[in-house]
Amino acid sequence: MTRRETLLHRTSFALAMVGLATSGFLAWEYAQSGSIACPVAGTGCDDVRQSQFSAVLGIPVPWLGVAYYSSFALIEALHREFGAYQRVVGRLIVSLAVLGVVASAWFTYLEAFVIRAWCFWCVVSAGCAVALLLVATAIEAQQSRSGVGHET
């Protein structure tokens, strides 16, 4: 593995941990009865939490974020263990990253045009999802150039 690939994997892991911390914090805040601690003035976080879109199939959206970012972090922590399956795992990661960006885009659309309120933490999570897609794509491109996963 090249130095660049190692840096990209570490960056992906760090981004996943930021997303996990953000989602974990929001999951905890959703369980509390008070207002969500928001570093930006206003009630956007609470407005989003109180909307009908704050859960999917009864699961609070922050818990979906916890599952999403935990998956990323786990795969990145174990990426060296996949050996000959690096290419398949790389494509899985890119697919997972695309799913995260699509979900984030949907929730961002809802915040902007339906709920008409912005949650700072949701925006941070969306940024992490986009950054993870960029890094996952860079890892995949690097592996394609170096021939990883094409061993016979």
Res 79: pLDDT: 85
The pLDDT tens digits of the residues spanning 121-146 come to: 999 999 999 999 999 999 999 888 87
For a pLDDT cut of 90, what percent of the chain falls above it? Answer: 76
Whether the Cβ atoms of residue 30 and residue 69 lie closer than 8 Å to each other: no
The pLDDT tens digits of the residues spanning 32-69 come to: 989 998 888 688 999 999 999 999 999 999 999 999 99
**Average pLDDT value for residue range 14-22:** 98
Residue 77 has pLDDT above 50, yes or no: yes
**Which DSSP state fits 53?**
T
Residue 16 has pLDDT above 90, yes or no: yes
Give Cα 112 distance to the centre of its chain: 20
pLDDT band of residue 150 (cuts 50, 70, 90) is very low
Res 145: pLDDT: 82
Q: Which residue has the tokens 């999570």?
A: 125
Q: Pull the structure tokens for residue 61.
A: 């959206």
Q: Pull the structure tokens for residue 14.
A: 């760090």
CB neighbour list of residue 5: distance below 8 Å, 6 or more residues apart: 139, 142, 143, 146
Mean pLDDT for the chain? 92
Q: Which domains does the chain have, with CATH numbers?
A: 3-146 (1.20.1440.130)
Reported pTM:
0.92
